[in-house]
Amino acid sequence: QLSALDALLPNIVNLDRIRASDWVVVLADVDSVAAKLVVLKTAFPRASALRIVLRRPKMLLESTARVQEDVMMVAKALSKLPDPDAIIEAVPDLASPSQLARALGTIRAAMPSADPLQVLQKNPDVLYALGGESNIEDSAEYGELSTKD
């Protein structure tokens, strides 16, 4: 199973990303991992599914239906932009509807006169500069969400 997962997502297994017990769950259903990759590529065909999953490996623990629901909501929210795939590739955390909502709120608060979607399209990395709540990552120890310093 490990070789099958490595074929789909090279070098993905890393205990700094999620717990060993969670990797066991992921490895038990590699077909589900493949289905989630198809969902990601369907919603964001030009974005790197590997980059998204490397940044958000806990996505692999969610049901395929949940991943599909989330990425379709995000794709719809970003659909009026010229290149939503570039946004998701630059900031994979935004593949989560709650993270996208937080990011847009952060941009609105920092730049009240600007359209947050346009700001995001022009410079997705603006979130890191603003120190917004969307700037989170999995903790190396237990895969819990923690704010970056």
pLDDT in tens, the chain (149 residues): 667 766 677 677 676 778 888 888 888 888 999 999 999 999 999 999 988 988 888 899 999 999 999 999 999 999 999 999 999 999 999 999 999 999 999 999 999 999 999 999 999 888 888 875 444 444 444 444 444 43
The stretches of 28-125 forming alpha helices (DSSP H) are 30-43, 49-55, 64-77, 84-90, 97-110, 116-122
Give this prediction's pTM. Answer: 0.77
The Cβ of residue 4 has, within 10 Å, a number of other Cβ atoms equal to: 12
The Cβ of residue 36 has, within 10 Å, a number of other Cβ atoms equal to: 24
91 vs 67: CA distance, rounded Å: 17
